[in-house]
Amino acid sequence: MRAVVYRGPGSKVWDEVADPEVIDDTDAIVRVDAVTICGTDLHILKGDVPAVTDGRILGHEAVGTVQEVGAGVKNVRPGDRVLVSCISACGRCSYCRQSAYGQCLGGGGWILGHRIDGTQADYVRVPFADTSTYLVPAGVRDEDVLMLADILPTSYEVGVLNGRVRPGDTVAVVGAGPIGLSAMLSARLFSPRHIVAVDLADRRLDAAKEFGADVTVNNGREDTLARVLELTGGLGADVAIEAVGVPASFELCTSLVRAGGTVANIGVHGGPATLHLEELWIKNVTITTGLVDTYSTPVLLRLLTSGQVDAGRFVTHRFALGEFMQAYDVFANAADTGALKVVLTRE
């Protein structure tokens, strides 16, 4: 088969590799029918994730068709159409029993495209198939449900739920890329008073208006703090969501949040950020971080099938499965291309 293979920081190839095989009796082999590229893949290519080694197949999101299962798999069978979650869960360890699947101690967590070969390939081996895949409801498009592999549960759990968004809140989202837009979309489920989108690219701020933001701020030209204080009577945002993964965006969030508010960090950071405790300690500010656990995926599937969440609006560019190098170029240069999510499909 062919796959996107990591060759060290800044280097990847679309190359011939061996087909995956069932190793453990809880494995499934899934034919990849639709797959996407994540901002985390770009962080890997920058060298921000040293656990990813030369030769690893990238990718942790897919929708596909089950081809083969191990003897211990009970919930899926060959021919089933499934969502492959970005998080694998053994289902038995102490963290999995608390639905904290991202911290799985039994060999799961974020492993696809990280510690084992991932989904940007013709086929993928999915460990713990019973607890790491979800049957796709009939009538739902592959590219719609694909958005539930990572960005929607990540933003909903790590941003909106960790941030404790409540009705009437002012929510500032720093970063209007796919993760930030997803946070805006899911924050709308809780009826905030304002959603403020902050970014440096006007194109992404225009997209933010379509995903739920009622206020947009270009942080390169405008005083973001002054705008948020104006909206909130001088208090600051109830919730500030960091959706970029660079020190400046995290530090901006800590300046935007009000006393008693919450900073919810979603972004993947490849270096340290300054934490101004000399200013924050007296303000009763809560700071949360997290890797997605995907415990919300069943809820999001119900919202998707009922039409309450429109996941398909994230997809801006479509490619054939063999056009990965072109798709990476488009996604990595989103400021110029306007890319939100790219989807590559077998057909």
Q: What pLDDT was estimated at residue 48?
A: 87
Q: What pLDDT was estimated at residue 335?
A: 83
Query: Domain 153-288 - what CATH class?
Result: alpha beta
Task: Write phi, then psi, for 301 (nearest 5 degrees).
Answer: -60, -40
pLDDT by residue for the chain (347 residues), tens only, comes to 999 999 999 999 999 999 999 999 999 999 999 999 999 999 899 998 999 999 999 999 999 999 999 999 999 999 999 999 999 999 999 999 999 999 999 999 999 999 999 999 999 999 999 999 999 999 999 999 999 999 999 999 999 999 999 999 999 999 999 999 999 999 999 999 999 999 999 999 999 999 999 999 999 999 999 999 999 999 999 999 999 999 999 999 999 999 999 999 999 888 899 999 999 999 999 999 999 999 999 999 999 999 999 999 999 999 999 999 999 999 999 988 989 999 999 97
Q: Find the helix or strand (DSSP H, E) in which 140 lies.
A: none
Asked whether this chain's domains 2-150+293-345 and 153-288 adopt the same fold, the reply is: no
- Among 254, 225, 229, smallest CA distance to 242 is for 254
Q: What pLDDT was estimated at residue 26?
A: 98
Q: What pLDDT was estimated at residue 64?
A: 98
Q: Exposure of 21 by Cβ count < 10 A (0-12 exposed, 13-18 middle, 19+ buried)?
A: exposed
Q: What pLDDT was estimated at residue 318?
A: 97
Q: What pLDDT was estimated at residue 347?
A: 73
Q: Where are the domains of the chain?
A: 2-150+293-345, 153-288
**Inter-helix orientation angle 247-256/224-231, to 10°:** 30
Q: C-alpha dihedral over 141, 113, 156, 146, to 10 degrees?
A: 0
Superfamily of domain 2-150+293-345: Medium-chain alcohol dehydrogenases, catalytic domain (3.90.180.10)
* Burial readout 99-137 (b: 16 or more C-beta within 10 A, e: otherwise): ebbbbbebbbbbbbbbebbbbbbbbbbbbbbbbbbbebe
